[in-house]
Chain A
């Protein structure tokens, strides 16, 4: 194996020497076994190497054994069909040839056992080579099946082997994400992917059932990393890269059909999402949901339950669920009652501070771009956003203000929010009810956006300038929010720092002490100690 060799080269000289001899030794033995059957007993030495303490030795032994058994499988020197017990084989009336193959088949099984053991080994190198060897075995066995294939509707694929490998990968106690990302290489192969998907489903079902649906963060993490590593093909014609080439009836094979893949994929995800997830997992699933899960499902509407449940949770999870819901509403005709009411209630001070702020405003912009929305709703959104803007950092304000202006532009009857001429010079208390959950009842239309007037005194010049716009009728052209969605505070700082002015204004009040000036806020509360 290439990585193992590389490691050999880089290690210390003496060790290298020793390993080299050991390796040569093992390789020689493999050669001998393959050359003539009289050295068949040397296979025990090779298997002994697999149980060594030294990581390097184990890796070498894995290499050697994979080479040995792959060749043997290719030569079809392993026993095919139902395997008799070893003692039985010795007793029974088998020819020497058969006895040899039965013997080797047993050794093969014990080797696979040991390799599976190694999959949960401590050392990553061992795990990696064990995984690779197992996959090599799978490929070889797929090509030259060890079972009898009398009935023709079965296609040769080492399903049991894959199942056990997947079971091992989805370990309950260790985080296997590194190994799983190595496994991704094999997931490129269509048939492997197909069978892995069904094995994952089976594994999840059994494990979770056994655990009675309780959260198992490590296991679920492993499952998620394996599942999110699966990249689905988008066209039927892309399905060309198989591990096991089927001799006949290739067309009817399930693993060669895209819709079968999709169904397997869908069942796998639904099976996974059926159980309770840790909240972090919720978020990470929702982040990838809209672009790597929903498009590959045969019936995306099956996700409705999951998404509505997530949307009900509130907070950041709801924000993330919006994206999937949007796709369902937009492309799959989902009718979601009280969608806008819920969206309205999502508006909390924290939306300006969460990581997914840009995504939320992007989607909110899309949701509110319909011109068929009732005026009271749009006004409620505008007013609520304005009220929340009183707690927002400048980067968020630079999004929110154009957002509100766009709302008013799209719905000209909302203009009363910023322009409400009245004959008598009355002044009134803000009629807007912030705590009201129903946008229809919050009296936003009777109010005015005094908050934006307040923001005209904001300390950041760009925000203040943006807020000044309500003094005059808004321009017809909508502002493009996309540009400002990703602005960071540092970018704002840079913008100010880059301004070149000829003469920099200086403070004219002569500075004498550190804690002077500015209303003495610092000087009265702190001392120089």
Chain B
């Protein structure tokens, strides 16, 4: 038992003496793990083992760890290494050593050697402290470096590459001198001299450095003082002065280089080009509008998401459709209208602000635009500040800015020339009285006070100025102020419309401002209009619930509806503002009974609005046709045997069903078409029968005009014939052209022609052709093929699980083995201890017994000697 470890340790000892190659070549050390199969391309890790080596390694490790622990067992005192960073594994050993060294030095320095110059000696490299060099904070030197570029003196090379060469050389020269003059000097003296010299040198250097430091600081101070004076000048210029003059050629090259960098700006656009750009923009917007009108926005995006494969033709199909529409639309008359407006709107694309400024410039002279100039100045200041920050790029930016400004000026000039004549009169009036800055009104009453007593044009000016003075880019709170301002303006519109007589011209003037504000804050505008519509719809609903019918919306509401159409696109398939507005109109047309000429007028305004709402989208509004039929029915004299049926709110006969029948059938002779006043929807007093008749005829004319428009709008509908059949019957049988004044006869004829010209035949309905369903193109299912011996589990998780289990098992076994080995090692160690203790005891006993035997022997010898 006891021998095996001893042997082993002996073997270990032997092994230690040998190199690894020796061991590997020794066939007795090597254990070859036999392979059953030779697999090509597989690298086996464990084909060869060195059991002896690994055993000795493990033994060694145990001796270092386990044995130490064992020895330390039951001992309370401990040896702790308190050197710096001893147990810090993160620190590199070099760092540790360095840190320890510096700490040591510091301690020494702190205590007693404060005044000891000699002991202060640092480790230097050619006169420079190594510690200093480590820190790399010698700023002055780095500056010098750049200046001394290209000067390859011996000194320099020496400093850079010489290492300790210089010192050596000096030493050497010094020795030579000493050799020559005072050979007699002892070694001691020599050393002292050397030390002194070096100390002197060091002091000099220190002084020099301090001076340099001082000078730089002073220079900095001075620079700061004059910096404010020469803002524009770049520091580059200073440098150039300091430096030796550059070659002229170099300068040229550099200048050229900078010039090359300047970005080519866009060239000035000719008016035609501007118009084209404008038209393209409008075309884009129009295409966008058409897309919204079709209502396929959501679908489109949905398609994009569930995109199946490239074979799917669905997307392309719809796109084509869209394109076609756009093109056909461009060729229509819409385009012409755009172009004429394009010229007007040229200034618009520069941006809202500029646009307004331009307008105001047109209206006022430079001296008046104080606030604008201030604003400009502010901007300029900001620019300057920015300039300080940048160095070289500024010049480019400035040049760009200049160019842009020039452009702006050009466009400003255009607008000036355009608007100069128109604004001349206003200009004069404006010069007379109006102030130029306005604070945003805090409440509706503020606004009313501000606008009170001004002419419509001036009111518009004031509103424009309020809007401009409080542009959101000027202050943070302005956005909210202007959003509220929009609401106040709407309230103001309401007030204007409720006045008697309504001041519609003022409202007309305010429209551009409302539009501008709406463009600025679509959300707020949308919310305000929605609230108005919600309230109106709610009150109508309540009236319907209580009374069963409602009265026609008042003038204010009609104007709001019109304004809605001006601010928001009416052709959208679904729009948060215009859709409810359209619903409101339709409800008013169906639920409000017509009881007076005033109601007829209101209804006709609503019809006009409905026609305008669907003018672009050509959507079908049944209520509109119903109402027009009913309105025409009001003019039918003989209500018997109608041949068509009117729809509520109209009644075939009874009270108020002959509102438009002329009281005097001769009165149409001296009637001429003129426009109906909008105020007739609010208060209509017609005193004489003649007035009343002429109003009736005008209403009839309006109704016929609207019918004509409807006919043209709905010509392509499948049921056109059935929709307009009642109107056709009415016009041909009950309201013949002979009974109408001459201007209306033409209209009458046109309508009947359109109705009769409509195609009556239709092909039967069929479902849309199903687009071929593309074959499902599945992604191939990729199964990972792992050529492993143990291929358990199919999914990745299962395999991972298996792997982990296996690993755990292996580790568990390994740990058990290790523990067994540990305990074996410890047992051996204990045995060793016991054995050695026993051996010691044996030895001592032996010794004692020996000495006792000696004593005994001696004593016996003495005794024998005595005996003898």
| Residues of B contacting A425 in the complex (Cβ-Cβ under 8 angstroms) | 763
| Residues of B contacting A417 in the complex (Cβ-Cβ under 8 angstroms) | 765
Determine if B430 is an interface residue (Cβ-Cβ < 8 Å).
Answer: no
Q: Which of A354, A387, A464, A471 contacts B768 (CB 8 A)?
A: A471
- Mark contacts of A490-517 with chain B using CB atoms, 8 A cut-off: 1 yes-contact digit, 0 otherwise: 1011101101010111111111111111
CA of A511 to CA of B621, assembled, Å: 25
**Known contacts A527-B676, A527-B678; is A522 also within 8 Å of B562 by CB?**
yes
Give the residue name and chain of the B residue nearest to A446 (CB): B764
| Residues of A contacting B519 in the complex (Cβ-Cβ under 8 angstroms) | 506
CA of A354 to CA of B651, assembled, Å: 13
Report, nearest first, the 8 A-B pairs whose CB atoms are least far apart: A518-B612, A529-B677, A519-B615, A420-B764, A459-B619, A490-B541, A527-B675, A353-B648
Q: Which of A236-244, A300-308, A427-435 contacts B (4 or more CB under 8 A)?
A: A427-435
Q: Which of B538, B648, B760, B765 contacts A490 (CB 8 A)?
A: B538
CA of A504 to CA of B645, assembled, Å: 41
**Known contacts A393-B587, A458-B620, A460-B583; is A387 also within 8 Å of B645 by CB?**
no
Determine if A355 is an interface residue (Cβ-Cβ < 8 Å).
Answer: yes
Q: Is the CB of A461 within 8 A of B717?
A: no
Determine if A174 is an interface residue (Cβ-Cβ < 8 Å).
Answer: no
Q: Which of B285, B345, B579 contacts A461 (CB 8 A)?
A: B579
> 12 pairs across A/B with beta carbons < 8 Å?
A421-B766, A453-B718, A471-B767, A472-B768, A490-B540, A506-B567, A507-B567, A510-B515, A511-B567, A514-B511, A521-B615, A525-B701
CA of A529 to CA of B680, assembled, Å: 8
CA of A355 to CA of B544, assembled, Å: 11
CA of A458 to CA of B714, assembled, Å: 11
Q: Which of B13-21, B601-609, B791-799, B833-841 contacts A (4 or more CB under 8 A)?
A: B601-609
Q: Is the CB of B534 within 8 A of A528?
A: no
Binding site for B on A (CB under 8 A): 348-350, 353-355, 387, 389-394, 417-422, 425-430, 448-451, 453-455, 457-461, 464-465, 470-473, 488-490, 492-494, 496-497, 499, 501, 503-519, 521-522, 524-529
Q: Is the CB of B577 within 8 A of A504?
A: yes
SS class of chain B's interface: helix, strand, loop or mixed? helix
CA of A465 to CA of B573, assembled, Å: 10
Q: Is the CB of B583 within 8 A of A472?
A: no
Determine if B166 is an interface residue (Cβ-Cβ < 8 Å).
Answer: no
Give the residue name and chain of the B residue nearest to A355 (CB): B548
| Residues of B contacting A418 in the complex (Cβ-Cβ under 8 angstroms) | 765, 767
Residue with the greatest number of chain B CB neighbours at <10 A, chosen from A425, A457, A473: A457
Q: Which B residues, 717 to 734, have Cβ-Cβ distances below 8 Å to chain A? A: 717-723
**Known contacts A450-B765, A493-B580, A514-B559; is A391 also within 8 Å of B611 by CB?**
no
CA of A455 to CA of B609, assembled, Å: 20
Residue with the greatest number of chain A CB neighbours at <10 A, chosen from B292, B341, B645, B717: B717
Determine if B363 is an interface residue (Cβ-Cβ < 8 Å).
Answer: no
Q: Is the CB of B717 within 8 A of A510?
A: no
Q: Is the CB of A507 within 8 A of B678?
A: no
Q: Is the CB of A450 within 8 A of B619?
A: no
| Residues of B contacting A419 in the complex (Cβ-Cβ under 8 angstroms) | 765-767
Q: Is the CB of A493 within 8 A of B677?
A: no
- Mark contacts of B759-792 with chain A using CB atoms, 8 A cut-off: 1 yes-contact digit, 0 otherwise: 0111111111000000000000000000000000
CA of A489 to CA of B604, assembled, Å: 21
Minimum CB–CB distance for A247 against chain B, Å: 53
Q: Is the CB of A473 within 8 A of B580?
A: no
CA of A473 to CA of B768, assembled, Å: 9
Determine if B569 is an interface residue (Cβ-Cβ < 8 Å).
Answer: yes
Residue with the greatest number of chain B CB neighbours at <10 A, chosen from A355, A449, A453, A496: A496
Determine if B626 is an interface residue (Cβ-Cβ < 8 Å).
Answer: yes
Minimum CB–CB distance for A36 against chain B, Å: 61
| Residues of B contacting A455 in the complex (Cβ-Cβ under 8 angstroms) | 620
| Residues of A contacting B719 in the complex (Cβ-Cβ under 8 angstroms) | 390, 450-451, 453-454
Q: Is the CB of B678 within 8 A of A459?
A: no
Determine if B679 is an interface residue (Cβ-Cβ < 8 Å).
Answer: yes
Q: Which of A448, A471, A497, A519 contacts B530 (CB 8 A)?
A: A497
**Known contacts A451-B719, A459-B621, A518-B611; is A504 also within 8 Å of B576 by CB?**
yes
Q: Is the CB of A349 within 8 A of B512?
A: no
Determine if B582 is an interface residue (Cβ-Cβ < 8 Å).
Answer: yes
Q: Is the CB of A505 within 8 A of B572?
A: yes
CA of A464 to CA of B614, assembled, Å: 14
Q: Is the CB of A526 within 8 A of B605?
A: yes
Q: Which of B238-246, B413-421, B702-710 contacts A (4 or more CB under 8 A)?
A: B702-710
Q: Which of B507, B537, B619, B706 contacts A493 (CB 8 A)?
A: B537
Q: Is the CB of A518 within 8 A of B647?
A: no
Determine if B433 is an interface residue (Cβ-Cβ < 8 Å).
Answer: no
| Residues of A contacting B580 in the complex (Cβ-Cβ under 8 angstroms) | 493, 496-497
| Residues of A contacting B621 in the complex (Cβ-Cβ under 8 angstroms) | 458-459
Q: Is the CB of B760 within 8 A of A450?
A: no
Q: Is the CB of B722 within 8 A of A430?
A: yes
Q: Is the CB of B611 within 8 A of A521?
A: yes
CA of A453 to CA of B763, assembled, Å: 12
Q: Is the CB of A461 within 8 A of B514?
A: no
Determine if B662 is an interface residue (Cβ-Cβ < 8 Å).
Answer: no
Determine if B828 is an interface residue (Cβ-Cβ < 8 Å).
Answer: no
**Known contacts A503-B522, A507-B567; is A454 also within 8 Å of B620 by CB?**
yes
Determine if B533 is an interface residue (Cβ-Cβ < 8 Å).
Answer: yes
Q: Is the CB of A457 within 8 A of B620?
A: yes
CA of A496 to CA of B533, assembled, Å: 11
Q: Is the CB of B765 within 8 A of A526?
A: no
Q: Is the CB of A454 within 8 A of B648?
A: no
Q: Is the CB of A350 within 8 A of B717?
A: no
Q: Is the CB of B765 within 8 A of A508?
A: no
Give the residue name and chain of the A residue nearest to B568 (CB): A507
Minimum CB–CB distance for B814 against chain A, Å: 62
Q: Is the CB of A448 within 8 A of B576?
A: no
CA of A430 to CA of B725, assembled, Å: 13
Give the residue name and chain of the B residue nearest to A528 (CB): B504
| Residues of A contacting B721 in the complex (Cβ-Cβ under 8 angstroms) | 430
CA of A521 to CA of B703, assembled, Å: 11
| Residues of A contacting B618 in the complex (Cβ-Cβ under 8 angstroms) | 457
| Residues of A contacting B702 in the complex (Cβ-Cβ under 8 angstroms) | 525-526
| Residues of A contacting B584 in the complex (Cβ-Cβ under 8 angstroms) | 493
**Known contacts A422-B764, A526-B605; is A507 also within 8 Å of B569 by CB?**
yes
Determine if B586 is an interface residue (Cβ-Cβ < 8 Å).
Answer: yes
Q: Is the CB of B763 within 8 A of A497?
A: no
Determine if B348 is an interface residue (Cβ-Cβ < 8 Å).
Answer: yes
Q: Is the CB of A450 within 8 A of B762?
A: yes
| Residues of B contacting A392 in the complex (Cβ-Cβ under 8 angstroms) | 622
CA of A504 to CA of B525, assembled, Å: 10
Determine if B613 is an interface residue (Cβ-Cβ < 8 Å).
Answer: yes
> A465-B295, A529-B504 known; 8 other A-B pairs, CB under 8 Å?
A350-B647, A353-B647, A430-B721, A459-B621, A504-B568, A514-B508, A521-B611, A527-B675
Minimum CB–CB distance for A486 against chain B, Å: 12
Q: Is the CB of A521 within 8 A of B675?
A: no
**Known contacts A391-B626, A429-B760, A521-B706; is A493 also within 8 Å of B583 by CB?**
yes
Minimum CB–CB distance for A363 against chain B, Å: 21
Minimum CB–CB distance for A453 against chain B, Å: 5
CA of A421 to CA of B612, assembled, Å: 38
Q: Is the CB of A511 within 8 A of B569?
A: no
Q: Is the CB of A510 within 8 A of B608?
A: no
Minimum CB–CB distance for A476 against chain B, Å: 15
Q: Is the CB of B722 within 8 A of A390?
A: yes
CA of A103 to CA of B645, assembled, Å: 73
**Known contacts A429-B760, A450-B719, A522-B612; is A501 also within 8 Å of B576 by CB?**
yes
Q: Is the CB of B537 within 8 A of A489?
A: yes
CA of A470 to CA of B619, assembled, Å: 18
Minimum CB–CB distance for B349 against chain A, Å: 11
CA of A511 to CA of B516, assembled, Å: 9
CA of A454 to CA of B619, assembled, Å: 9
Q: Is the CB of A349 within 8 A of B709?
A: no
CA of A460 to CA of B525, assembled, Å: 22
Q: Which of B526, B566, B583, B614 contacts A514 (CB 8 A)?
A: B566
| Residues of A contacting B677 in the complex (Cβ-Cβ under 8 angstroms) | 526-529
